[in-house]
Amino acid sequence: MQILAGVGAAPSPVAITVDYLVIAGGGGGAYFWGGGGAGGMRSTVTATGGGGSLESALNLLTLTNYTVTIGAGGAQKVATGGNGNSGSNSVFDTITSTGGGGGGGVYNANAPGGGSGGGSAAGSSSNGGARTASPVQGNNGGGVGNNFTGGGGGGAGAVGGAASSRVGGNGGNGIATSITGSSVTYAGGGGAMTTSGSAGSGGGAGGTGGGGAGGGGATHANAVAGTANTGGGGGGTNEGGDKTAKAGGSGVVILRYADTLTIAFGVGVTGTESAASGGYKRATITAATAGTISWT
């Protein structure tokens, strides 16, 4: 943090309390096999990712700059093997949420870990990626895979689903928080691919909270990207459809503070401040790279 320079008889900084929801970018799915894991979710309101203990609000100051970064989702992969791309971290002051693990795309190998882990690749020795352990922010990716397809990416609220025969595992569900004043679900995992010609119209379902569905199946359905600003994982795919394993959804930072305060967004920070409600205002930040915010 950096205290803003005063001019003349400028007021002194005043202590304030800020609740937060910090969600990282979701992992991208794999072109063969697994779904991307959701971005890590850290929250002081309602619930936090992975069933961990609810986090504590931050004690901050007015007239002081605080750093904020919104993590990008892991990029899509077009007809390219190997693991899916992991998401990027989101940061608010001292709070960092870890990007979701990319879907598993290496046969008989473990998928990447992250805030939530990516879903497993095919192969009896494959496992879903591990979740970040400290602090807990999500869940493991689904696995063990089988010889044909893989597991769904982990979500903030549930482990990714395992493959069933030749049908890809579902993404793990996300978690709802009421930090905005309404209950909204974030950080669902991405579904895994289903093999071509198998029953069903597509791959594993995306987890609630922005997870994208996997591709493939009898109709060669396209995979679906994670929803922007939810941290949802992207769906995995195979050679059917558009042959594109989809990107994870970008992260988001939502802040809740007393309605007597007003937030200022620095250069390069995209955000909105709500009207006062229930004694609070809320700021939703959807894009920033090492930008700053402050309050008066």
pLDDT tens-place string over residues 85-127: 999 999 999 999 999 999 999 999 999 999 999 999 999 889 9
**Confidence tier at 279 by pLDDT (50, 70, 90):** very high
Q: pLDDT tier at 18 (50, 70, 90 boundaries)? A: very high
Question: In the predicted model, what is the mean pLDDT of the chain?
Answer: 94
Residue 274 φ/ψ, nearest 5 degrees? -80, 165
Confidence of residue 141 (pLDDT cuts 50, 70, 90): very high
pLDDT mean over 39-54: 97
**AA identity, residue 266:** G
Q: Is the pLDDT of residue 272 over 60?
A: yes
What's residue 83's pLDDT? 98
Q: What local confidence, expressed as pLDDT, does residue 4 receive?
A: 53
Q: Which amino acid is at 171?
A: G
Chain centroid, CA 194 distance in Å: 23
Q: How far apart are CA 196 and CA 295, in angstroms?
A: 54
Whether 294 contacts 49, CB under 8 Å: no
Distance CA 42, CA 60 (A): 18
pLDDT bucket at 8, cuts 50 / 70 / 90: low
pLDDT surpasses 90 at 199: no
The predicted structure's pLDDT at residue 145: 65
User: Which of the four pLDDT bands, split at 50, 70 and 90, describes residue 133?
Assistant: confident
The span from the CA of 246 to the CA of 269, in Å, is: 26
pLDDT at res. 198 = 75
Contact 236, 74 (CB under 8 A): no
199 touches 167 (CB < 8 A): yes
